[in-house]
Amino acid sequence: MTDPALEKAFVQVSVARSGVPVVKAFFDEPTFTFTYVMHDAETRRAAVIDSVLTYDPAAGRTGHGAVEPVIAYVEAQGLSVDWHLETHAHADHLSAAPYLQQKLGGKIAIGAHICEVQHTFGALFNAGTAFQRDGSDFDHLWADGDQFMIGNIAVTVLHVPGHTPACVAYVIGDAAFVGDTMFMPDYGTARADFPGGDARTLFRSLRRLLELPPETRLFLCHDYLPEGRDHYGWETTVAEQRRANIHAHDGVSEDDFVAMREARDATLDMPRLILPSVQVNMRAGHLPPPDDNGVTYLKIPVNQL
């Protein structure tokens, strides 16, 4: 560069951007789920977090409506996807990670405690010995404190169980993708009544996340509009959650949180897609193997949940 003033400005903009991921949110209204694409502006390396495979339970039909905009964005931005990061084995939507991997490349990863979830749901669905319960359906498993790079941006993985035993948060640059721990401050927190869930553990996990610097951007997995709000929200900060989260702001005791969470969970219906979702997501988003007629079936265990 032969323009010294421009060079200074160039370096300034690069340094300002370095370590700050560009984050794009996509919302799937049928399941109230946010999928994120984050990327490093310098290298254009990227990750997709919590993608959604469209599923019509009445017809038993899968579709790609929810992820076509994700693919179009990745292509238009010229991004290289290194990772498909799952915050947990979702109970309310099927993961589109295998489809996106086929289209965009990248590895599928989840928290290492997924093996516990695979044992629980492998038994519920009587999945047989062909279903490995060692996490090997995924390309990579993260332990608490693992660090890696996406382009020039550092990532730290935090194990944040409570909603499920295997939940992780991905702290990427100045942004944390917190999965199902906290929701928007006026909605509160995730439920803790799924198999292996625990309200006390959830409280400890979400308070752990709230030890991050106050300005940390938090990106949420869902928004279910609370009464009095008519627009969906997906981004907040540690400072905002500590000040205003209706379930877990500073000053709420662990015992009060547990009492509130357990009372509220007793009133919640099972997610509409829990049975199709968990038997697919425990396999990293792959459908179960087809029957001998070549047709793939999803099972419905009766009177088990």
Ligand X SMILES: N[C@@H](CCC(=O)N[C@@H](CS)C(=O)NCC(=O)O)C(=O)O
Q: Which residues bind ligand X (CB under 6 A)?
A: 31, 91-92, 180, 190-191, 222, 224, 268, 271-272
User: Which C-beta is closer to ligand X: that of 60 or that of 214?
Assistant: 60
Binding mask 135-174 for Fe ion (x = CB under 5 A): ----------------------------------------
Choose between 180 and 223: whose C-beta lies nearer to Fe ion.
180
**Rg, Å, the chain Cα set:** 20
Decide which of Fe ion, ligand X, none touches 155; Cβ closer than 5 to 8 Å per partner kind: none
Using CB under 5 A as the binding rule, whether residue 223 contacts Fe ion is answered as: no
Selection from 41, 3, 62 nearest residue 173 by Cα: 41
Question: Which residue type does 134 have?
Answer: D
> H or E segment at 109?
strand 107-111
The residue among 79 and 192 lying less far from Fe ion, judged by its C-beta, is: 192
Tell me if 99 sits within 8 A of 67, measured CB to CB.
yes
CB of 121 to ligand X, least distance (A): 14
Amino acid (one-letter) located at 301: P
Closest CA to 281 of 118, 47, 131: 118
**Which listed residue (180, 189, 199, 220) binds Fe ion by CB under 5 A?**
180
What distance separates the 2 farthest-apart alpha carbons in the chain?
Answer: 73
Amino acid at 178: V
Q: Choose from ligand X, Fe ion, none: what does 130 bind? Cβ within 5-8 Å by kind.
A: none
Find all residues with CB under 8 Å of 1, minimum gap 6, and list them: 7, 10
Pick 60 or 290: Cβ nearer ligand X: 60
120 binding partner (options ligand X, Fe ion, none; Cβ < 5 to 8 Å by kind): none
Measure Cα distances from 209 to 16, 179, 212, 242 in Å: 25, 11, 6, 10
Nearest-CA neighbor of 270 among 91, 121, 58, 86?
A: 91
Segment contacting Fe ion (CB under 5 A): 2-10, 63-71, 177-185, 234-242?
177-185
In the complex with ligand X, which residue's Cβ is closer, 21 or 162?
162
When the beta carbons of 66 and 190 are compared against ligand X, the nearer one is 190
Question: Which residues contact Fe ion (rule: CB under 5 A)?
Answer: 180
